[in-house]
Structure 1
Amino acid sequence: MADDGFDDFSGGEDDLLDDMDDLGEEGEEDNENEENIEILPQTEEEHAIPSEQRTTTPYMTKYERARVLGTRALQISMGAPVMVELEGETDPLKIAMKELKAKKVPIIIRRFLPNSSYEDWAVDELIID
């Protein structure tokens, strides 16, 4: 065989340890030359915008609608109380759609703005197409 007389571990450990020692010496030299650098936490704070100063559209987007329906359907399937009268519906998604049409969904949508502030909109405040 081609591997006859070849030992994978012969001399390899010493070379590896020598290489690691060399790295440690270089690292110590680098630390002596560097200044102490202090890392500060990010200080941007999010703040809510009052409802009378809102700038975003009063229309519910298709993405918000999908998220609200999915979240509410999951809540209903996990046993949350239903906010509308049921007329034989058992599908949680259909129940969530019925709640949305009646504007009885107990969810608040938080819209984040580029300046790290946000606007909170209740589902009953939004215009649904």
Structure 2
Amino acid sequence: MEITWNQFVISDNKERLDVDAIKGFLSRSYWANKRPEERTLRAIQNSACYGVYEGRKQVGFARVVTDYATMFYLCDVFIDEDYRGMGIGKKLVESLITCEEYKDLVGLLGTKDAHELYKQYDFEHDTERYMRRMPDYVRNMARN
């Protein structure tokens, strides 16, 4: 996938990913700021990844974990602070949920602060049906 929008390009080409920029993005996030670097690298290797670029500079990122048949999990969505408020996050999410690979699949995600963004794309709260399992290392990170 490669979508040009204004001066930005959204691409699923992993060779374009700026892993240092992604690590920087995630180190500033509330959900992954304590994630060990090796886990981030493994997550990138084993997920569908999408970068947002202005020229050669990566300004956004998202990962999708999926079986391509029934569901996808959207995660690690991040737009560089200097580029927020320009509609880039909206365009990134819209591009992902409408692409052929995901448009007919159940979508899942977790967010603490972007509910209104995702509601625009038909994501709904469903706290009564879903459970999660937290491995010890994640529980320990939350305590520190």
TM-score (norm. length: structure 2): 0.24
Which of the pair is proportionally richer in strand?
2
User: RCO greater where, 1 or 2, for CA within 8 Å and sep 6 or more?
Assistant: 1
Larger Rg: 1
Which of the pair is proportionally richer in helix?
1
